[in-house]
Structure 1
Amino acid sequence: MIRKVFKKKPSGSNKIDAFLEKYNLPKAYFAVNRRMVTRGVAVGLFWGFIPMPMQMLAVMATTPFIRFNVPIAISMVWLSNPFTMPPMYYMEYLTGNFILGREGLEDIELTMSWFSEHFDDILVPLYVGTAFYSVIVTGIIYVVLNRLWVKSVHTENKERKQKRRKRNSKKSHPPED
């Protein structure tokens, strides 16, 4: 079932193949199978949770070390966008404070002088929370997605076998007149 969603080729797939050949891009980075898709999701989420500029470049810098579906990884990075960043980073900050056993800052001022005075009080819990979400949560999502994919394939195979059995039983027992 999951494979069918990703395996559908767009109408211009010949153009995509020509593009890949023109720029000598390895087709492996666009492969749609369980390993490549789940790795793409994991790599994209890993970099997406980290508060840093140019996350897509970080995804591309990962390609020599891990093989994964690059378009899926880049789309996962886009989950952290200007609309989702504030709640996401605040959640990471709160998680970091929880892990460190700290209290959050009170009386926040939106001035540069306040931020420069409290830089360590913000940055340390933020990156501790970031490490938690980038490593632990991404790992959990990777495992869950892998298992869902395998379960989907097993379910699809069972359904195919049942249909085949029904078809074969109808052929072996023709209707009586």
Structure 2
Amino acid sequence: MARKFIQKLMPNHQKIKDNKNLRFFGRLTQDANLWHLNRRSASGAFAVGLFCAFIPIPFQMVLAAALAILFRVNMPLSIALVWVSNPITMPPLFYLCYVIGTLVLGKPAQHFAFSPTWQWLVESIGSIGPAFLIGCLVMAISCSLLGYIAIRLLWRWSVVRSWRRRPQSASNDLMEP
């Protein structure tokens, strides 16, 4: 059950292999472990993808692909999970990161008005930047750990449930004439 659910989330293998941003990985993408779906590769992919989703850099998908290759986890799932932070969810997620960063640093949250300009970014990096980056790191680590543990537990629960159902269906088959 967990495997079928996760396979629905995964993008097409060929689309990822043909992606122009991932071509520089070359033969590294040919490793079969990057495309196989099992408990280890799925939980690792959740950890990698969720970690990269909270790193405030462009080309998060390329970072997720590189980490998937490094840790030999499922690459399509790692790349797909980066889209947790998409243009719609990014403002509230990154504001949450900022608030968590202020809590970690013990500083009061500052009022700021976002402006999508280079000048605003340069001016605010000194005031809200440290809290934002610390919050992003805390969220990246905690979400990746939670995702890893949740998928391991979900996968284990699914396997145990299917094994428990197996004897019942086998004994029912034996009793029927």
- TM-score grouping bracket, smaller chain normalisation: 0.7 to 0.9
Deviation of 1:72 after TM superposition, in Å, equals 0.5
Corresponding residue to 1:55 among 60, 74, 78: 60
Corresponding residue to 1:149 among 139, 155, 161: 155
2:22: which partner in 1?
A: none
1:92 partner SS: helix
Q: Structure 1: which 5+ residue stretches go unaligned?
A: none
Alignment partners' CA distance in 2, 1:67 and 1:129:
27
Q: Structure 2: which 5+ residue stretches go unaligned?
A: 19-25
TM-score (norm 1): 0.80
The one-letter code sitting in structure 2 at the alignment partner of 1:2 is: A
Moved over 6 A (4+): none
1:105: which partner in 2?
A: 110
Deviation of 1:97 after TM superposition, in Å, equals 0.6
Work out the number of aligned pairs and report it. Answer: 162
1:78 partner SS: helix
Q: Deviations over 1:38-77 (max 9, x none)?
A: 1111101101111111111111222442011100011001
Bigger radius of gyration among the two:
1
Q: Deviations over 1:12-60 (max 9, x none)?
A: x9x95xx89xx85222211011111111111011011111111111112
Q: Percent identity?
A: 31
Alignment partners' CA distance in 2, 1:135 and 1:44:
11
Alignment partners' CA distance in 1, 2:68 and 2:114:
41
Alignment partners' CA distance in 1, 2:40 and 2:163:
19
